[in-house]
C-alpha cells in the first residue's frame, strides 16, 4: 500500500471513530435527559402532593371568627 493510501485509510478510520464517539455521546446525553425528566416528573408529583397536604392542613378563613381571619394567609 502506498504512503498516500495509508494516510487516507488512517484519516477515514479516524473520521469513523469520531462519528462513533459522537453517536455514543449523543446517546448518553439523550439517556441522561430522559432520566432527569423522569426524576423531575416524580419530584413535581411529590411537590404537588405536599402543597395539597399543606392546603388541607391550613384552616379555611371562611370558618373562622372575623377576629382571626386576618391571621390566616390567603393563597
More confident: 22 or 1? 22
Look at residue 5 in the predicted model and tell me its pLDDT. 85
C-alpha cell at 52: 395539597
In the chain, what are the domain boundaries? 3-69
Look at residue 54 in the predicted model and tell me its pLDDT. 87
Look at residue 19 in the predicted model and tell me its pLDDT. 94
Locate all alpha helices (DSSP H) within the chain, ordered by sequence.
3-57, 66-69
30-71 residue pLDDT tens:
999 999 999 999 999 999 999 998 888 876 655 655 655 555
The overall pTM is greater than 0.85: no
The CA distance from 4 to 31, in Å, is: 41
Taking CA 67 as the corner, what is the angle to CA 66 and CA 71, rounded to the nearest 5 degrees?
100
In three-state secondary structure terms, 61 is: helix
Q: Is the pLDDT of residue 24 over 60?
A: yes
Amino acid at each position: 500500500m502506498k504512503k498516500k493510501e495509508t494516510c487516507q485509510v488512517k484519516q477515514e478510520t479516524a473520521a469513523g471513530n469520531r462519528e462513533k464517539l459522537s453517536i455514543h455521546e449523543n446517546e448518553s446525553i439523550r439517556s441522561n435527559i430522559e432520566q432527569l425528566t423522569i426524576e423531575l416528573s416524580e419530584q413535581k408529583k411529590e411537590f404537588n402532593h405536599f402543597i395539597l397536604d399543606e392546603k388541607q392542613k391550613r384552616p379555611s378563613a371562611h370558618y373562622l371568627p372575623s377576629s382571626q381571619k386576618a391571621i390566616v394567609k390567603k393563597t
